[in-house]
Structures are given as C-alpha cells and as structure tokens.
Amino acid sequence: MTTRYSYQPARGHGLPHDPLNAIIGPRPIGWISSQNAAGQRNLAPYSFFNCFNYHPPIIGFASSGWKDSVANIVETGEFVWNLATRTLAVPMNESSASLPRGEDEFAFAGLTPLPASLINVSMVAESPVNFECRLTQCIQLQNAAGELLPSWLVLGEAVAIHIDEALLENGIYQTAKAEPILRAGGPSAYYGISEDLRFDMTRPDARKA
C-alpha cells in the first residue's frame, strides 16, 4: 500500500525544501529580453514559463513581483523569448543577477544584443531560437479567495520566430540537438534533454484515423 506525504500549502510543507518546483519539473526557462521606452535593455530568466496556444502562438511567463521585465513589457508591449541552452547556461544564470534598474544584463552576462525584425527589443544573438512577441495580456494572479497576489502572468503572441537552421533536419526541428536546459527543484538544479531518453507514442484518436 502506498504511503503518501500530504500537506496543505497554506500551512507549510514541513520539508527541508518546498517540493513544488521539483514536482512541476523540469520546466522550460523563460529567458526574456525587454527594454523600456527609453531604450534601456533588460534580460532575465523565469522558471515559470510555457507555450499556451498554437495559432496564433502564445507564450507566457510568471513573475513573482513587479520586476523590470514586467514593467518594460507593460510599458512597450513587446518582448523576446530566447532559448536557453547548455552552452548558454552560465550567461543565462549571470543574467539573473539583481542589477540596478537600467543596467544592461546583456553586457553583464557577456552576451550580444541582436536587433529584432518586427519589434524594438534586442534578441540574444548567441541563442539558437528567438521568439519576437507582442503583449496580449498581463494578469495579476489571485488565490482561491479572490485576493490579489504579488505575481503577474505575462502572455505574448509570437509574431516572428527565428531558428538556427542547424537545428532543422529535413525541415523537422530537433529538440535534443538544441540542448535546451530545464529548471528543476531546489536552489540550483537544472536538467538537459538527451535523444537517448526519447520515446514516442501515438494519440488514440490518431490511431483511429
């Protein structure tokens, strides 16, 4: 018989470290570049990130606190998602530093800003995939009692997508070849993706076709 450890989050988890981030993981990294109306660049990684719609493509990230990324995006209506890869792990981590507002994380992390094609935000030139996005919604989260929380969900439509052609084989994007890194639990855990760990399944509806 399975023995379950149970807890109510509002009363604390009673463990050495909150297991939530480890359970909901590994998670893709929202490496978000933005800039304010004055043209000051910002770059920051967010571990609460994902894709939420196919057509049009809508991606989003959540920020705990009204941070520079959120302020910039609300001000300008634009941002870029940059794929964080194994070779970019260290500069991605460096870009998470708490710098004074207006200081350039691109320069701090030793990264090259690359002008986007449709929006006025710099992409990370070293990243093999970049999504140019226009803001669709910025939602302040609330709890089950309807109380507002100091967290914001930022959603944006990808209006231009750039992919390093080396990651395309016969027109098919190779996820493992890109070597994306994923955030896991604890203060320092990350994971990679390997082709050796891949398995394939067909949806039941597809088998009926």
| Of 198, 131, 125, 134, residue with least CA distance to 160 | 131
Return the structure tokens found at 114.
Answer: 């690359």
Domains of the chain: 24-194 (2.30.110.10)
Class of residue 86 by CB neighbours under 10 A (exposed 0-12, middle 13-18, buried 19+) = middle
| Of 36, 91, 88, residue with least CA distance to 67 | 36
pLDDT computed for residue 102 by the predictor? 80
Place of tokens 């660049």: 41
CB 128 within 8 A of CB 164: yes
pLDDT computed for residue 186 by the predictor? 82
Return the structure tokens found at 1.
Answer: 């018989």
Place of tokens 């855990």: 189
Return the structure tokens found at 154.
Answer: 């930022």
Q: Residue ranges of the chain with pLDDT lower than 50?
A: none
pLDDT computed for residue 209 by the predictor? 62
pLDDT computed for residue 75 by the predictor? 98
User: What's the Cα-to-Cα distance from 117 to each of 101, 161, 190, rounded to whole Å?
Assistant: 26, 10, 31
